[in-house]
Structures are given as C-alpha cells and as structure tokens.
Structure 1
C-alpha cells in the first residue's frame, strides 16, 4: 500500500489498516481490544484513523526493538 495525502483525515477498514501497518487483521483486532486504536464509527464496518493505526504500529515496533515494518 502506498501512503499518500493527508493521513490526518484518512480512515481505513480493518484490512486496509492491516496492510498499511504490515500486520495481520488479527493484530488490528488485538490493538483494538487493548485500546491502542478505536474505531471511529460504531455502526457497520469499523474504520480506523490512519494516524492512529500508524502510531500503534510504531509503538509496537519500538517496544519490540524493530527498525520498521511499513514499506
């Protein structure tokens, strides 16, 4: 996935968030359960703020001591 534009106002589905963060959808569900990300809509399919997903990925990466996961 190519990240472009203003990500402050971008919203991703679970699959898009997982692809952008370089993780599986299960990891997105875990981040949600742990309160690292919160869906912005309560009805229908969840959408996540792009910047929230990228911050959660960075936090996880930093904690694990990895360089980067997002291509």
Structure 2
C-alpha cells in the first residue's frame, strides 16, 4: 500500500497570481522542463510569450497541480 501523493502548496516566495517561468513551474510541479514543453506543444497548457520568454499563468500551474480551477 503506497502513501497518497501530496498536493503541492503555493510557494511562499512566489506571489499568487503572477506568472511562472518554465523552470519554476516545472520544479514546483515535480516534472521536467521537457515534459512541460510537451504539454505546451500538445495544447494542454496555455502560456504567454513575451519576446523569447515563455511564462506559464498561475492559473495553469494551479490547474496542473490539482489545487485550482
């Protein structure tokens, strides 16, 4: 019998509602940056692009973490 997987809680250093960098979002979610890129390429994760920078909205990170709308 395995223990239940804990749901990530918001990082105390990340303001609620502000977008996440790919590296920060992947680290918070416990997935690789490549896996997050695959989800983005498949259209399962919405992102905002500012120049070359790719940001993941806070709502998307919470949805993936299972603790948001």
What TM-score does the superposition give when structure 1 sets the normalisation length? 0.63
Q: Which residue of 2 aligns with 1:10?
A: 18
Give the alignment's Cα RMSD to 1 decimal: 2.3
Q: Which residue of 2 aligns with 1:47?
A: 55
Q: Structure 1 residue runs of 4+, over 4 Å off?
A: none
Structure 2 spans left out of the alignment, 5+ residues: 1-8
Higher strand fraction: Structure 1 or Structure 2?
A: 2
Q: Would you say 1:25 and 2:40 are equivalent positions?
A: no
Q: How many residue pairs are counted as aligned between the two chains?
A: 57
- Unaligned stretches of 5+ residues in structure 1: 59-71
Higher deviation after alignment, 45-54 or 22-31? 45-54
1:36 paired with 2:16, answer: no
Q: Between Structure 1 and Structure 2, whose CA radius of gyration is higher?
A: 2
**TM-score normalized by structure 2?**
0.64
